[in-house]
């Protein structure tokens, strides 16, 4: 007996394409994922790990009962930014017509979210009001790790799971670490001034600086911080790092080979006074918003450099601006800004020693293809009622 399957709608969730397929056709697309016992537990305190969340969804084996759209599972990407996330996920799922991937403008999300089962938030704030409208939602997730824009408590109250994609397994941490090195070298070698010299047909200027011999403070020694330290080591540097819990089982066994001096949040000011370069890799929380403030930047050596590849609001704008203006900071390299997209006319960009990139640290072919697979597999596993193997739940 044939059944109707609603096909992919592209960017217009109000248009429907009906395909007639045998009801057993989906079985040929069945995802063969590892058993829960094969899934490694990731080390996030307080998280509900994939291997522990099977029971809640194992009962959802009938897609028609599960999502209210016949045999269709719908995935919503919020907003037009980071377009490769949507495009690569669609490509990964192109042979699975029972999974629909849509992208809508940020302002449209509240009006359409009631029709979706998975929401990929990107830079959309998903607050309690929006969550209340998500009547069919099963999973709210990030295309990466940052969930500071999601009201996790409200999601929990509405029995919606919230998930991130662990950066250590997708290449996101590696990609971000490489960008940290890129920005660090860029401000040391005075990228803007080099561009000016080329345009002026000049030679032999500016005089840059080397990483060799520098002391570098890594603020936040999670997955990205670890990868940054690995890549800094061959440059002949001294590495300081701060982390809340150095006994975490997520740390590599060779951590003492990566870090010369370890400390907690209480040591950040002392370490800032020793460092020539500070690289911010911290998670953004209510406690870390604006943590790089006047007190911290004043604690840094005069002539030191600041790099941020984590979240823009870790840095206090006025503190950074004032210390650039005074010459206390010798350079700033950021992939993330206080407000995004960032105003290209903002005064901070007028400084010749500031480099800004458009939030692309994690946007590489390697990491984005891998994360597309994670989103796609999560959608397939939800549709089929299987254990989740690609994401880490935080509630």
pLDDT tens string 86-142: 999 999 999 999 999 999 999 999 999 999 999 999 999 999 999 999 999 999 999
Q: In angstroms, rounded to a whole number, what is the distance separating the alpha carbons of residues 101 and 116?
A: 10
Q: Give tens-digit pLDDT for 183-239.
A: 999 999 999 999 999 999 999 999 999 999 999 999 999 999 999 999 999 999 999
Could you tell me the domains of the chain?
73-170+366-393 (3.40.50.720), 172-356 (3.40.50.720)
Q: What is the mean pLDDT of residues 324-343?
A: 97
Q: How confident is the model at residue 60 (pLDDT cuts 50, 70, 90)?
A: very low
pLDDT confidence of residue 250: 80
pLDDT confidence of residue 175: 96
pLDDT confidence of residue 55: 40
Does the pTM exceed 0.85?
Answer: no
> What one-character-per-residue DSSP string does 302-332 give?
TTEEEEE-S-GGGB-HHHHHHHHHHTSEEEE
- Tell whether the model's pLDDT for residue 395 goes beyond 90: yes
- Tell whether the model's pLDDT for residue 371 goes beyond 90: yes
- Tell whether the model's pLDDT for residue 45 goes beyond 80: no
Q: How confident is the model at residue 70 (pLDDT cuts 50, 70, 90)?
A: low
Place of tokens 């950021």: 334
Residue with more model confidence, 55 or 205 = 205
Q: In angstroms, rounded to a whole number, what is the distance separating the alpha carbons of residues 257 and 247?
A: 15
- Tell whether the model's pLDDT for residue 51 goes beyond 90: no
Between the CA of residue 205 and those of 270, 349, 380, what are the distances in Å?
34, 21, 55
Q: In angstroms, rounded to a whole number, what is the distance separating the alpha carbons of residues 16 and 390?
A: 29
- Tell whether the model's pLDDT for residue 294 goes beyond 50: yes
Q: What value does the mean pLDDT of the chain take?
A: 86
Q: What is the mean pLDDT of residues 226-254?
A: 94
Q: How confident is the model at residue 31 (pLDDT cuts 50, 70, 90)?
A: low
Q: In angstroms, rounded to a whole number, what is the distance separating the alpha carbons of residues 304 and 237?
A: 14
- Tell whether the model's pLDDT for residue 168 goes beyond 80: yes
């Amino acid at each position: 007996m044939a059944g109707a399957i609603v096909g992919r709608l592209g960017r217009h969730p109000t248009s429907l394409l009906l395909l007639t397929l045998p009801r057993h056709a989906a079985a040929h697309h069945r995802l063969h994922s590892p058993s829960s016992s094969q899934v490694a537990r990731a080390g996030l305190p307080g998280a509900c790990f994939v291997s522990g969340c099977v029971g809640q969804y194992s009962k959802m084996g009938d897609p028609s009962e599960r999502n209210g759209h016949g045999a269709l599972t719908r995935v919503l990407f919020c907003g037009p930014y980071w377009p490769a996330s949507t495009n690569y996920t669609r490509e990964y799922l192109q042979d699975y017509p029972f999974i629909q991937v849509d992208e809508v403008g940020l302002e449209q999300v509240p009006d359409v979210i009631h029709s979706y089962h998975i929401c990929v938030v990107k830079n959309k704030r998903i607050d309690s009001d929006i969550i209340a409208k998500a009547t069919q939602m099963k999973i709210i997730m990030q295309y990466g790790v940052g969930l500071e824009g999601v009201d996790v408590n409200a999601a929990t109250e509405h029995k919606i799971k919230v998930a991130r994609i662990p950066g250590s397994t997708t290449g996101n941490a590696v990609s971000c670490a490489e960008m940290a090195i890129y920005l660090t070298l860029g401000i040391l070698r005075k990228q803007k001034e080099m561009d000016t010299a080329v345009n002026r047909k000049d030679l032999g200027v500016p005089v840059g600086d080397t990483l060799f011999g520098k002391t570098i403070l890594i603020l936040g020694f999670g997955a990205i911080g670890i990868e940054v330290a690995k890549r800094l080591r061959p440059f002949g540097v001294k590495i300081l790092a701060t982390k809340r819990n150095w006994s975490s089982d997520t740390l590599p066994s060779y951590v003492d080979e990566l870090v010369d001096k370890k400390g907690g949040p209480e040591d950040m000011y002392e370490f800032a006074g020793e460092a020539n370069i500070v690289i911010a890799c911290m998670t953004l929380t209510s406690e870390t918003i604006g943590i790089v403030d006047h007190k911290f930047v004043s604690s840094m050596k005069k002539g030191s450099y600041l790099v941020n590849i984590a979240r823009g609001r870790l840095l206090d704008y006025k503190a950074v601006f004032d210390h650039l203006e005074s010459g206390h900071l010798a350079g700033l390299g950021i992939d993330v800004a206080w407000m995004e997209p960032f105003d290209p006319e903002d005064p901070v960009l007028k400084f010749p020693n500031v480099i800004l990139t458009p939030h692309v640290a994690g946007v590489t072919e390697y990491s984005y293809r891998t994360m597309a697979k994670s989103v796609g597999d999560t959608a397939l596993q939800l549709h089929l009622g299987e254990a989740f193997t690609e994401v880490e739940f935080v509630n």
